[in-house]
Amino acid sequence: MKLSFDQMEEQEMKEFRGGQGTLRARMHTDGNNKIMMGLLLPRSSVGLHTHEGDSEIIYILSGTGKVLCDGEYEPLAPGDCHYCPSGHSHSLINDGDGELSFFAVVPRHGER
């Protein structure tokens, strides 16, 4: 199945998952997976959340920022990949003055 993100409606989410600022995303969801092209505006974040029954993979396309994962900060730059396994917590943070663009996949684990 081909996914064309440029043909998907862009959603603008303010304070996503309790974060700050604005996340813009084009997303495909089928009940088992969420596949997203996201853009975190400057000084914005995805709030701290725990993955239960799913995990998340985030690949940074452009911009810089950091992730707070299980209480530790990790810097992120283009080409970096962050993985948050089930049972762990993380927050994606754009602490810079430019946009942070990323590709993310959230697969569900086990039977539904």
- For the whole model, what pTM was predicted? 0.93
Q: Positive or negative CA dihedral for 82, 86, 87, 91?
A: positive
* Residue 2 counted as domain residue: no
pLDDT value at residue 111: 59
On whether the CB atoms of residues 15 and 40 are closer than 8 A, the answer is no
Stretch 29-53: mean pLDDT:
96
30: left (phi over 0), alpha (psi -120 to 50) or beta: alpha
- Residue-wise pLDDT for 9-31, tens only, equals 999 999 999 999 999 999 999 98
* Residue 5 counted as domain residue: no
Q: Is 112 a residue whose pLDDT tops 80?
A: no
Q: Provide the domain count of the chain.
A: 1
Average pLDDT, the chain: 96
* Residue 112 counted as domain residue: no
Band of residue 60 on the pLDDT scale cut at 50, 70, 90: very high
> What whole-number distance in Å separates Cα of residue 52 and Cα of residue 36?
19
Q: The domain containing residue 68 runs over which residues?
A: 11-107
Beta bridge mates, 73: 68
Which of these, 108, 105, 96, 10, lies nearest to 45 by C-alpha position? 96
pLDDT value at residue 31: 87
> What whole-number distance in Å separates Cα of residue 15 and Cα of residue 1?
31
- Residue-wise pLDDT for 63-94, tens only, equals 999 999 999 999 999 999 999 999 999 999 99
Stretch 29-40: mean pLDDT:
96
- Whichever domain contains 59, its CATH number is 2.60.120.10
